[in-house]
């Protein structure tokens, strides 16, 4: 059995999501919505929003690839354990079936650290405490990089609200500067008010759309990280540690 037979479910779902997003962007470009966004936002806050969106979209893509590899490795290990129940530990290398070495990664690091903590614990209470602490550390390792993404999601929403405020300030400023009420002056005021309204609406639209897309990505990444942690704990506690008892060299 080879590792390539595992299911890259997370990566496949993300690629479908990217395909739908790309289709939506093409439709927006064809309908002139992206050009209207650029022309309508005089504050250019929407450009900052799109820049942050692009950077953390790539960050999410990198996390998707890493988590997908780890989940694929977990699926591979689950199936391999069914075919080769024999386990042995030589140094810090876990051997399955007597000769298949567990590859480096999230699961192998967790197993090694857990075995070290088990050997260092002198009582059952210390063992439980060390396992809880270790699980917390590895949970942070799996989900910690997503915190920056969630911070950017909130920041993008706030940037959209900032653009709304700037747009209304532009609208009120055009009215405050008006000293006469003739037709030409009112036409100019209405034009400047439309510019401010466009800035307010377009920045709000950009902020909401970008934050919703990124939030959907990072929410799915968090759930995938939880799945990886759960698989790691189950493999370790149910399939690996009981079989290692008495088989350590």
What average pLDDT does the segment 2-19 reach? 72
- Say if strands 100-101 and 93-96 run parallel, antiparallel, or are unpaired: antiparallel
Report the predicted TM-score, pTM, of the whole model to 2 decimal places: 0.81
Task: Tell me the longest C-alpha to C-alpha distance in the chain.
Answer: 95
CB 157 within 8 A of CB 207: yes
Percent of the chain with pLDDT over 70: 81
Q: Residue 8 and residue 177: Cα distance in Å, rounded? A: 60
**Domain coordinates in residue numbering, the chain:** 3-244
Task: Report the run of H or E that residue 63 belongs to, with start and end.
Answer: helix 45-83
Q: Helix 33-40 crosses helix 45-83 at what angle (to 10 degrees)?
A: 130
Mean pLDDT, all residues of the chain: 81
DSSP class of residue 2? Answer: -
């Amino acid at each position: 059995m080879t590792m390539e037979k595992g299911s890259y479910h997370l990566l496949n779902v993300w690629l479908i999501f990217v395909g739908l997003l790309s289709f939506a962007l093409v439709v927006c470009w064809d309908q002139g919505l992206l050009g209207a966004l650029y022309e309508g936002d005089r504050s250019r806050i929407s450009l900052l929003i799109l820049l942050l969106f692009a950077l953390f979209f790539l960050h999410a893509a990198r996390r998707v690839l890493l988590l997908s590899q780890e989940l694929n490795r977990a699926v591979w290990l689950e199936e391999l354990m069914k075919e080769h129940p024999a386990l042995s530990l030589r140094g810090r290398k876990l051997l399955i079936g007597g000769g298949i070495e567990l590859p480096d990664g999230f699961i192998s690091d967790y197993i090694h650290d857990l075995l070290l903590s088990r050997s260092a614990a002198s009582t059952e209470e210390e063992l439980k405490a060390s396992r809880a602490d270790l699980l917390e550390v590895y949970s942070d390792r799996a989900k910690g990089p997503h915190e920056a993404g969630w911070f950017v999601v909130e920041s993008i929403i706030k940037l959209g609200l900032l653009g709304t405020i700037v747009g209304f300030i532009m609208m009120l400023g055009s009215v405050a500067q008006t000293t006469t009420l003739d037709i030409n002056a009112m036409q100019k005021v209405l034009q400047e008010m439309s510019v401010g309204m466009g800035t307010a609406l377009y920045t709000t639209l950009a902020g909401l759309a970008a934050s919703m897309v990124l939030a959907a990505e990072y929410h799915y990444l968090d759930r995938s990280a939880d799945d990886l942690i759960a698989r790691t704990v189950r493999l370790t506690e149910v399939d690996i540690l009981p079989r290692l008892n008495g088989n350590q060299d």
